[in-house]
Every structure is written in C-alpha cells, then in structure tokens.
Amino acid sequence: MNTIPRDHPRYWSLMIREKIVEGFKNGVVVLQGVIAHGRGECFDYLIGEETIPQAYEAIKAAVATLLLADYPVISVNGNVATLVSREVVELSSIVGAKIEVNLFYRSRDREEAIKDLLIENGAKEVLGVGEDADRVIPEISSERRRVSSRGIYKADVVLIPLEDGDRAEALKRLGKKTIAIDLNPLSRTSRVSDITIVDNIVRAMPLMVKVAREMSGMSRDELYKIVQSYDNKRILSDVIKYIADRLVKLAEESLSNDI
Ligand code: ATP
C-alpha cells in the first residue's frame, strides 16, 4: 500500500482509495468497482464527507428493520468486502443476519477471495459461493442473477450496500424489503429501496454496528414505531435539498474567499 502522510488534507479519502486499489490487486474488487468508487467519492464531496442527519435517520430505521426481520441477509460485493468486512460480520451477528456474496461480475476465484476475507474477519458462514448460489432472480441476465436458496432467495429483508439498479429493482419485484447504502441519492437503487442510507459505507457501517448495539435491547413495539415513522421519499428529497443548500452556501462563500 502507498504511504499517505497523516497530515495530508485528504488523508482518509486517500486511505480508502488505497484499500480499493489493494482489493483490486488481490482480486476482490473489479475494475468496474474502482469506477463505482470514484462515482461514490464525487457524491461524498457533495455531502461534505460526513454522515448527514438524513443518513442517521435512515440508519436507525434500517437497524430497526433488520432487528424486526424474520430472515435478514447482508449482500456483499467486492468493494463492500474490501472496505468493511469486519463491520459486516459484526452487524450480522448483532441482528442475526446471514452474509451472502452477491456479485455483478462473478468468478469462482473472486467469490472465494471475498469469502476468505469475510472469514478472516470473523464470519462463521458465507453464502452465495459456488454451488451455493443455486437459485436465480428472474428477469436479470447472466451471472448477476444467481443467489442462494439459504440466503437472499429466502430473505424477507436484504441489506444491499453499493448495489446496481437492475438487481435492486428485481429484489423489490421478488417482494423483498431492501435497505440500500448508496452515496448517490439519485440512483435507481436509492429510489427503489425501502430505506436508503446516503452515506459512505466506511462511515455508515461502523455507525450501524453502534446503533444496532444500542437498539438491540428495544422492544418490538419501539422498533415498529421507528420503522413506521420513516419515509424514504422524504429522506431522499431532503438529501437532495441538503446538497443543493450546501452548494449555494459554498458558492456564496467562494465569492468572499481568496483561494
Ligand atoms: P443505479 O444502477 O442504481 O442507477 P449506478 O449505475 O451508479 O446506479 P453502480 O455503479 O452499479 O450503480 O453502483 C455503485 C453505487 O454505489 C453508486 O451509486 C455509487 O455512488 C455508490 N458508491 C460507491 N462507493 C460507495 C461508498 N464507498 N459508499 C457508499 N456508496 C458508494
């Protein structure tokens, strides 16, 4: 890994980028995943590279939904495994969710590499690898539609970080409740999901783990209330307004700035 000086103004962003590059070199991340990361970085810049209140509200609703679920599953692709394997495993154990490898660009080597990374980080079971991906999601082409009958196929709630729009839509058609983590509030995945956490996964997942620990003692009634008062359309609309207001403020500031 390249060494980034700690005092670099964009230290964290560059460290995350290095992790993606490392994932690419280890066969966990594909080239398309590198590009997707760049798109995410752009939206992260727009929200100010911090967890905004709307994301926090979505995280609470997401955790409540996962805690109430009968059969929750966390879907993991290469970028997710590279960036937050440990948190995926922690969250899965707090909310009782299965972990499934779910790839847009499937290859046996990559499935195994992602599984190994999750196991190194404490996972006891990883679904969706090789023959375990034994079912198909209708209406999606090729390898992208394979899922596990013990995992996503059976799930009532699926956490889909960094998912593509086609598959997010197909999961909805299958009747799944979906929770997206996606920095782009305009993506199809963001718009079709029941709950959308517009935040960088490197901030959102550790926060979800913390919130899950705090909320795991709540009654089902309390959890239902949180879920019922949540409105994803309003959250997405508020995120877009947040970005717009922030940009107007920055534009005004830039007039009085010498930089
Ligand atoms: P869609 O098909 O949903 O309309 P898309 O074509 O942009 O959107 P992909 O490129 O397949 O979908 O998915 C990547 C998504 O993940 C992008 O919306 C990107 O903003 C988001 N993303 C990338 N990196 C991160 C990250 N670290 N944290 C959160 N979101 C991220």
CA 163–ligand 1 middle distance (angstroms): 6
Whether pLDDT at 25 is above 90: yes
Read off φ and ψ for residue 205, nearest 5 degrees: -65, -45
* Predicted pLDDT of residue 203: 97
Whether pLDDT at 142 is above 70: no
Q: What is the pTM of this model?
A: 0.95
Residues 6+ apart with CB under 8 A from 7: none
Position 259 confidence tier, pLDDT thresholds 50, 70, 90: low
Q: Can you tell me whether residue 159 is helix, strand or coil? A: strand
- Give me 245's structure tokens: 């207001």
Task: Write out 88-157 in H/E/C secondary structure.
Answer: HHHHHHHHCCEEEECCCCCCHHHHHHHHHHHHHCCCCCCECCHHHCCEECCCCCHHHHEECCCCCCCCCE
* Model confidence pLDDT, tens digit, residues 65-97: 999 999 999 999 999 999 999 999 999 999 999
Minimal-distance CA residue to ligand 1 atom 12: 164
Of ligand 1's listed atoms, the one at least distance from the Cα of 43 is: 20
Q: What residues flank ligand 1, with Cβ below 6 Å?
A: 36-37, 39-40, 43, 162, 164-165, 181-184, 187-189, 200-201
Percent of the chain scored above 90 by pLDDT? Answer: 85
Minimal-distance CA residue to ligand 1 atom 20: 40
* CB distance 137 to 127 below 8 Å: no
* Predicted pLDDT of residue 137: 84
Sign of CA dihedral 103, 104, 106, 110: negative
* Model confidence pLDDT, tens digit, residues 102-132: 988 788 999 999 999 999 999 999 999 999 9
CA 40–ligand 1 middle distance (angstroms): 6
Minimal-distance CA residue to ligand 1 atom 10: 36
Distance CA 159, CA 204 (A): 12
* Predicted pLDDT of residue 199: 98
Around Cβ 14, how many Cβ atoms within 10 Å? 14
pLDDT (mean) for 156-173: 94
* Model confidence pLDDT, tens digit, residues 172-190: 999 999 999 999 999 999 9
Position 191 confidence tier, pLDDT thresholds 50, 70, 90: very high
Residues 6+ apart with CB under 8 A from 163: 75, 77, 178, 180, 182, 189
Of ligand 1's listed atoms, the one at least distance from the Cα of 189 is: 3
Instruction: Please indicate whether residue 255 or residue 209 has the higher confidence score (pLDDT).
Output: 209
CA 38–ligand 1 middle distance (angstroms): 9
